[in-house]
Chain A
Amino acid sequence: MGIFKTKEERGSLWKFGSVQIGYAAAFGGLGFALRALGIGVPIAAGVLIDPRDVVSIIGPGFAGPIGAIIIGTLCALPSAVFCVQVYVPLSILWALIFHYFKHPWYYVPLVAGLLVVWNWYWAVWFQIWGFLPEFWTAFIVSMTGTLLYIPASIVLIEVLRRYSPTAKRMIG
């Protein structure tokens, strides 16, 4: 069993047809709605974990890298401070991981990406806006959320693969 998907399995990377538009619009709208409703998991006083982050991690697997731009933008837009610059590149990264890696191998770059790239991006963003001007403090604060997103995303992907043939076909 190979780590990477074959050319036939993965199809065209830049394909953005009606199916991908549908997934991008649905998951983008879903991420936006979750943020607008203020649904979150409180982990400490004033610290809330957003379920929209899970949408921005898994959604790009369905919609591809171009759809990831829509998902990232719509997930970021309802935030008080524009964080499109964080969500969009990260969503594209998750889309690429789902595009090239087979199940369950995509969990390796996904977890590594979440632990390193995700926290690095958020730490830089926290510094730019002055939420937490010290890089490593910001990195560790961001990691508290990541430690929740990793198991939540894995469980969600496994359940979706099991109960939805469409999900299994789309994300592999």
Chain B
Amino acid sequence: MALKIEYVSGESYLHKLDPRPKLLLFLITTVIVIFFTDPIYASIILLAWIILTRASGISVRKTAQILKASAPLLVLYMIINTLTNPANLESAKDPANVIFYLIPMSRWLPVTPQGLVYATAILIRFIIVVYSLQLILFVTPVVDIILALVKWKAPPSLALGTSIGFNFIPVFMNVARSIMDAQLSRGWKGLSAGSLVEKVKALPVFLVPLFLQGIDNAQKIAVAIEARGFGYNIAKRTFRRDLCLNSIDYATLTMEGLLIGGSAALWYTGQGTFMFTYSLVERLISILTV
């Protein structure tokens, strides 16, 4: 399950936005969903990201592809979470709360409504983080993300190293494929064959040539950037394209400020915990039983 670092060009609101408010929006929603454990609140945030995707002209299916690919992992994630989350463990102490046992014969691994609600919130939280990061990467070129880091006072040499690293990814993908093919043609069984000990032994067979290739490339990079005057005065370098905030960016930053303020107020008043949805579920169950 890997994110796609791919820019999808467009003329939407998100595309036109400066990378800094975009990155802030991702960071703010990530922090909010960590603090809020209510599935309804989390679903509202997810819905907002889906609306943003549609407004950007990017297919929701394409953005959610990474989630589709990891569906078995998400199911496993939900099961483990339901059984081991603190809300489930706490409420399962009272047998009246238990709705069923995963192993009924031995009354082992109880599942409670509180645990299910909490686990749902955690699952939505996971989906939000993956989905929002993928959308941000679809609407922001990597170069812009690096420029944003420089604007946030990251050392220019750090930004330069990161951008060169990004540019070398396709090179190393080809090198890794070639080394794998070469070793397989020499009778190497690959990383997934044999016992665990054999797998450990197989790892250096693949990694040693890859590291040697990495060392070789590193020296070439060093010579190349020196030849282009890297050591002259990197702190005072100028940019071919500079980032500057405009009215849409300021409006977005204001909206983000309101989002932080609103969330902090909700958090301060004790809202946003799974108990809100749980109380609704409880009421629904009592209506149905009546």
Chain A residues within 8 Å of B, Cβ to Cβ: 16-30, 32-43, 46, 51, 54-55, 58-59, 62, 66-67, 69-70, 73-74, 77-82, 128-134, 137, 148, 151-152, 155-156, 159-160, 163-164, 166-167
Contact = CB atoms under 8 A, between A and B. Distances in A.
Which bracket fits the contact residues of B?
35 or more
Contacts of A70: 158, 161-162, 165
Contacts of A23: 215, 218
B2 A133 contact: no
Nearest to A67: B161
Interface in B205-245: 206-208, 210-212, 214-215, 217-223, 225-226, 230-231
B211 A130 contact: no
Interface of A is mostly: helix
B55 interface: no
B203 A77 contact: no
B195 to A, nearest CB: 10
Contact of A29 (B3, B158, B166, B177): B166
Contact of A21 (B30, B164, B166, B210): B164
Contact of B1 (A37, A66, A80): A80
Contacts of A19: 218-219, 222
B3 A79 contact: yes
A46 B5 contact: no
Contacts of B208: 156, 159-160, 163
A119 B226 CA distance: 39
Q: Which 7 A-B pairs have the closest CB atoms?
A: A29-B168, A22-B222, A28-B165, A22-B221, A33-B172, A25-B164, A130-B122
A51 B207 contact: yes
Grouping DSSP codes into helix (H, G, I), strand (E, B) and loop, the B interface class, with mixed when no group exceeds half, is helix
B34 to A, nearest CB: 7
B126 A81 contact: yes
B200 interface: yes
Contact of A137 (B84, B166, B192): B84
A54 B203 contact: yes
A148 B220 contact: no
Contacts of B200: 41, 148, 151-152
Contacts of A37: 173, 176-177
B169 interface: yes
B3 A80 contact: yes
B126 A41 contact: no
Interface string B175-192: 111001000000000011
Given A130-B126, A152-B207, A46 B165 contact: no
B169 A33 contact: yes
A18 B191 contact: no
Given A134-B84, A166-B215, A25 B191 contact: no
21 contacts: A18-B225, A21-B160, A21-B161, A21-B225, A22-B164, A26-B221, A28-B161, A29-B166, A29-B169, A30-B211, A36-B173, A37-B173, A38-B2, A41-B191, A41-B200, A54-B203, A69-B158, A70-B158, A80-B3, A131-B77, A155-B204
B157 A82 contact: no
B20 interface: no
Interface of B: 1-3, 5, 30, 34, 66, 70, 72-73, 76-77, 80-81, 84-86, 119, 122-123, 125-126, 129-130, 133, 155, 157-158, 160-162, 164-173, 175-177, 180, 191-192, 196, 199-200, 202-204, 206-208, 210-212, 214-215, 217-223, 225-226, 230-231
Contacts of A28: 161-162, 165, 168
Given A54-B207, A77-B3, A80-B70, A26 B162 contact: no
Given A25-B165, A134-B84, 19 more contacts: A18-B221, A21-B157, A21-B164, A22-B164, A25-B161, A28-B161, A29-B164, A29-B167, A36-B2, A41-B192, A51-B207, A55-B211, A70-B161, A74-B165, A130-B122, A148-B200, A159-B204, A160-B208, A160-B211
A41 B215 contact: no
A21 B222 contact: yes
Given A22-B222, A34-B176, A156 B165 contact: no
Contact of B171 (A20, A29, A67, A80): A29
A77 B146 CA distance: 13
